[in-house]
Structure 1
Amino acid sequence: MAINEAVYRQLSGELQPKDVTLVAVSKIKPASDIKALYDLGQRDFGENYVQEVMDKQAQLPGDIRWHFIGHLQSNKVKFIAPFVHLIHGVDSEKLLAEINKQGKKLNRVISCLLQVHIAQEETKFGLDASELDALIKAVTTDAHQWSHIRIEGLMGMASFSDDQAKVRAEFQQLHSLYQLYTPATTPQVNFSVLSMGMSGDYQMAIEEGSTMVRIGSLLFGARG
């Protein structure tokens, strides 16, 4: 078995009392590894590539909750719209509109997180604070137009850095934005998810308010 069962049991025991959801990041890992973790009780899995998650969804149990955590192109939304549980990386009104359009075609409300750029690295995607505010206002002021999406919270990736203070400050920044919009409950905007923290920094992320962590290498081992 390629998965680390002991680590999974330790993580589950650590996160469940804190009401933190564990998303097992299974990108480029075989379906057999996912099924092994599924058999231990895991149901939330995160994938980065559209074709890969389509292939895996077709051959794995139907009650898996698939999280799309990669950078999603608008022209590929239609392929995952029928089954995706949560789209983590919405970083533009254009992408959100396409998700809404595909949801309408399927008569399905699709849950999303808005991705905020908190890292100092230019390679990271995401909205800045003013873009985030504008997008949330656009959705809340024209609820009828956005009837097939639900924004459930925010997602962000901290800098890949050994500077703990820097990483913590980035998590704090995202948590502050999350708190700012949490009271704004409408059918389309109802914050309950703050997705931040990965294998190397998830404990700090939880300390700073994360409700969902994305763990890959600790569970599946390093990618090739």
Structure 2
Amino acid sequence: AYDAGQRDFGENRASRLLEMAGLLPADARWHFIGHLQGNKVGRVRPAVHLLHSLDRADLAGYWVKGPGLPPPVLVQVNVVAEPAKAGVAPAETESLVEAALALDLEVRGLMTIPPLPAVPEDSRPRFRELAALAARLARRWPGLTELSMGMTEDFEVAVEEGATLLRVGRAIFGPFPESGRRE
């Protein structure tokens, strides 16, 4: 993919991102899209171009520590209120954006991962909800322009609903050998 011109790559596990980042030239841009524990921030932050999964205020505090400017972030929103899924509730998104901005983090937008759809159309209400929330927040903070939503199974619907960033790793690289959802 890199040889074909692709420069943006994503990972949802810190160890995998660090491993893969060492294999590609320095102009590859790494997006971290998974749950990030505070104790792993120091190792991951230098390799990341964009953090898609800011889901709590303490993570924002960890993210700003370290040399230089921290990479920009997206706030992860749990649009389905699934306890097993990471992300802030839609009603709490504005507070997390405020907390991140108060730490001088560059918040570029929002991210969501809805449940794996039976058919792509099942994701549309979730994407629409995130896009509406993003539009409302962008009236206050015009810099919130990115919408990271849509995976291999439903990216076409995500694009129709305003996605600016897609996670389509399985469509490009095939399934990953380990268990779990990965893009």
With normalisation by structure 2, the TM-score equals 0.89
Give the Cα separation in 2 of the matches to 1:163 and 1:57: 33
Mapping of residues 59-208 of structure 1, within 5 Å: 59-101=23-65, 105-119=66-80, 121-140=82-101, 143=102, 146-147=103-104, 149-162=105-118, 166-185=122-141, 190-208=143-161
- Deviation of 1:126 after TM superposition, in Å, equals 0.7
RMSD: 1.7
Say which SS state the counterpart of residue 152 (structure 1) adopts.
strand
* Shift in alpha-carbon separation, 1:39–1:159, aligned structure 2, 3 A: same
User: In structure 2, the residue corresponding to 1:173 is in which secondary structure?
Assistant: helix
AA in 1 matched with 2:154: D
- For residues 139 and 220 of structure 1, do their structure 2 counterparts lie closer, same or farther at Cα, with a shift above 3 Å needed? closer
After superposition, give the CA deviation of every residue in 1:60-93 in whole Å (9 maximum; x if it has no partner).
2000000001111111000011231001111100
Q: How far is the alpha carbon of 1:213 from its aligned partner?
A: 0.5
* Number of residues of Structure 1 aligned to a counterpart in Structure 2: 177
Cα drift, residue 174 of structure 1: 0.5
Larger helix share, 1 or 2: 1
Return the letter of the residue paired with 1:159: P
Contact 2:60 2:100 in 1 (8 A): no
Change (3 A) 1:120 1:167: farther
**Counterparts of 1:85 and 1:166, CA distance in 2:** 30
Structure ranking higher on relative contact order (CA contacts 8 Å, 6+ apart): 1
Segments of structure 2 that go 5 or more residues without pairing to the other structure are 178-183
The AA in structure 2 aligned to 1:87 is L
